[in-house]
Structure 1
Amino acid sequence: MQNNSASTVTRKSPDLTGHSSAWTLFLVFLRLGLTSFGGPAAHLGYFRDEFVKRRQWIDEHTYSDIVALCQFLPGPGSSQVGIAIGRLRGGVAGALAAWLGFTLPSAIMLVAFGYGFAYLADAVSSRLLHGLKLAALAVVAQAVWSMGRSLCPDRGRATLAAMSAISVVALGATSGQIVAIVLAAICGACLLKTPTDVPESLSGMPGTRTEAVVCLVAFVGLLFGLPLAAKLAHAHWLDLFASFYRVGSLVFGGGHVVLPLLQAVVVPTGWVSANEFLAGYGAAQAIPGPLFTFAAFLGAVSKGSPNGAAGAVLVTVAIFLPSFLLVGAALPMWGKLRSFDRMRKAMAGINAAVVGILLAALYDPVWTNAVHNATDFCLALSALLLLTWWRCPSWAVVMLTAVATLLFG
């Protein structure tokens, strides 16, 4: 009885700064980073099993509120949940340790793939790389379908998604995405009728209002200041950092939605070729951990200096830095923010736009670069069948598609 009572008290007081050492958090999240296959939705299931059910570090209500907060913010949702849990258990050091443990395995794997990419292209031929593109097509198609069902359940949001896809295709990836997100937020706040009931907000989130303001000012200052500094300094490394920071700041929906924004940043500028981009994205499906570590591959293979390991570290820090600042800004103020009805409706509109942006990316560059003949279509359809209806893990589908392309492509 005494143990149960102590456990209950811990779960009712989620501000547990210093309760777990940074090293303990690093090891726990490192194991999750090595074993968490399946993308952001699966990661949230792994986190719940680990921290709510097995370790009982936080209760169900606290975990649900953290997940809701991170879905509200731009950036990689599952990584932000991990950062928030680390912050709850170990303060700022705990947040850094949780992020590093969860991110390091997939980042190292993708950097290694980046180093071997040139050899792979020559020795195994372009057919294997083409198989990775077809696997990426199946994964993105599945993401569009599943996100569309959950985020666009009515005519209003489905219309916003379709119009967002049209705007991206018509205006181009960079400007089209900004237009789509802004208009969807306005239309959502003014026109959508979505459920507005939310559970009672928890208390005891870490951080003060002053810390929240500092994080928010830093986030906005870097978002607008980095591009200006890069333009004035004419430094490639600063331009690289600013571009990936902007992507990490503007990606609503996380996961696969990062694909079109990264493509718009690295391919038109010539930093990464379209062939390298899609091959790396396909490889990213075969490994555990957050999909945002795809940035590490792009940094490793990018043209100019820095690239390789230094480039990978630079852009990985850049794309995840907004998540730290946004989580730090939002945790103390989440209870108040979530009470505004128009804010939730605007986010519903943005989520619908995210589906449309991903749908546009499914067409270009994914479909246009991957499907060239009937065999390609059949292999991509088979991969989608395995993912969606046979529930095969994405890493297995990637490997099967790559092998099938070698045999039949």
Structure 2
Amino acid sequence: MTDAPSGRTPALSLFRIFLMLGCTSFGGPIAHLGYFREAFVARRGWFTEGAYADMVALAQFLPGPASSQVGMMIGLARGGIGGMLAAWAGFTLPSALALTLFAFGVVRFGGVLGGGWLLGLKAAAAAVVAQALIGMARTLAPDAPRAGLAVGGFVVVIGVTGLLGAPVWAQIAAILAGGVLGLVFLKGAGGGSEAGSGQEEPGLEGAGQGGDGLDIDIGRGVALGALFLFALLLIVPFLVGLDGGLGLADRFYRAGALVFGGGHVVLPLLQAGMVDGGIVGRDSFLAGYGAAQAVPGPLFTFASYLGAAAGGWGGAAIGTAAIFLPSMLLTLGALPFWARLRRAPAMRRALAGVNAAVVGLLAAAFYDPVLAGVFDRPHAVALAGVAFVALVIWKLPPWAVVVTAGVLGGLLL
């Protein structure tokens, strides 16, 4: 698996390597995985193609941000838990810091600059989400049964939220129903999970084949402890209720624990916790989501922006740590059992159902707050249409589209 007998790398060295990647990795999770492969398989030779493919496959199987989880596994393999934390911190810090500073800029200078640039960012966000929704629907709901599950997820979220005013429970219900229905009905459906792009993950086609698969030594006691803590942190806040910083951490933790199907699915989960919960305004939420497309690194650092908007530097730290914590715990918990899980047809059918349902979740978020935040201004609708064409037809990078939309919004709207 590695090119050295010890296979160990100091945590500080891992931090430096991933910090450079965090500063330069534009393009979303598919691109991130390509950068990682070049850095650690092709250039440094730390892993075989088969081992790296297994990391990608496990990250796609688990909820959470796939590229960050692969980075965590690389750090874990080379430096233990300390290396895992160093890899995560290095890759996450640049975008988390940039979005935190952006949140402070919105608060301090938003009124001085006028609202046009924020409206431009909202229009760009609408285009990005529309592109993600189309890509995810093609990949995760490509046939009639899974398309039906996607529509069902949309109906459940919209219906339960409208009737009961409980968006969090509506989303959880849609995810659980998708898993159960997928297990029962998706006999012939593939269970692979993509990142919502419609593209094949690099190396995924070889996952679990041959004799050079993933081999990261995690004791079963550590794994079971991580899984227990994951479940405890997810369930207990529902039972006792939390306020203040702990309540804020719970909202981000829950979002990170339930995200299947790619980073864009974090949008409806964070919307339910932060916008519907009255912590962050809808306009500020969408502007931050648009800005998150313009920075390198993981999209999950959108939580850094929201945390800063809600509670300054402390809120940013809470949001950043809490949204990634489920991924760390699940990665540690799943590794010893991965060889068996990846061959279980029942698990793959259930995951296919969950992934189809989350297409419906993203569709519900596209309906509200994305469209609701843009369609009240005709000029913003036009700008969103141009941004969509720039992304889908002209194939411009998201960061360029977002920056241009913000500038045009400030000048024209």
TM-score (ref. length: structure 1): 0.91
TM-superposed deviation, 1:377: 2.0
Q: What letter is aligned with 1:288?
A: P
Q: Which residue of 1 aligns with 2:2?
A: 10
Distance 2:191 2:103 in 1: 45
3-state SS, counterpart of residue 70 of structure 2 = helix
Within 5 Å, which residues of 2 pair with 1:1-150? 10=2, 19-150=8-139
3-state SS, counterpart of residue 43 of structure 1 = helix
1:227 and 1:242 in contact (8 A); partners too: no
2:54 and 2:214 in contact (8 A); partners too: no
Distance 1:394 1:17 in 2: 40
Which range moves more in the overlay, 150-159 or 284-293? Answer: 150-159
3-state SS, counterpart of residue 56 of structure 1 = coil
TM-superposed deviation, 1:226: 3.7
Distance 1:49 1:241 in 2: 35
TM-superposed deviation, 1:176: 2.1
Cα distance change of structure 1 residues 58 and 318 upon mapping to structure 2, 3 Å threshold: same
2:191 and 2:352 in contact (8 A); partners too: no
Distance 2:371 2:17 in 1: 38
Q: Which residue of 1 aligns with 2:288?
A: 280
Q: Which residue of 2 aligns with 1:241?
A: 249
Distance 1:332 1:17 in 2: 20
Residue 266 in 1 paired to residue 255 in 2?
no
Distance 2:346 2:254 in 1: 25
TM-superposed deviation, 1:374: 3.3
Within 5 Å, which residues of 2 pair with 1:285-296? 285-296=293-304
TM-superposed deviation, 1:120: 2.8
TM-superposed deviation, 1:196: 7.1
Cα distance change of structure 1 residues 17 and 138 upon mapping to structure 2, 3 Å threshold: farther
2:191 and 2:351 in contact (8 A); partners too: no
Deviations 1:350-401 (A, max 9, x none): 1111111111111110011112243222211110111112111111000111
Query: RMSD between aligned alpha carbons?
Result: 1.8
Unaligned runs of 5+ residues in structure 1 are 1-8
- Counterpart of 2:346 (choices 330, 342, 358) is 342
Residue 309 in 1 paired to residue 306 in 2?
no
Distance 1:56 1:381 in 2: 44
Residue 183 in 1 paired to residue 167 in 2?
no
Q: What letter is aligned with 1:407?
A: L
TM-superposed deviation, 1:249: 0.9
- Counterpart of 2:209 (choices 191, 200, 206) is 200
TM-superposed deviation, 1:205: 2.5
Cα distance change of structure 1 residues 281 and 17 upon mapping to structure 2, 3 Å threshold: farther
Distance 1:109 1:196 in 2: 36
Q: What letter is aligned with 1:258?
A: V
Distance 1:264 1:239 in 2: 14
- Counterpart of 1:169 (choices 143, 148, 158) is 158
2:190 and 2:352 in contact (8 A); partners too: no
Q: What letter is aligned with 1:101?
A: G
Distance 1:195 1:166 in 2: 24
TM-score (ref. length: structure 2): 0.91
Cα distance change of structure 1 residues 345 and 17 upon mapping to structure 2, 3 Å threshold: farther
Residue 225 in 1 paired to residue 236 in 2?
yes
1:87 and 1:206 in contact (8 A); partners too: no
Cα distance change of structure 1 residues 407 and 20 upon mapping to structure 2, 3 Å threshold: same
Aligned residues: 391
Q: Sequence identity, in percent?
A: 49
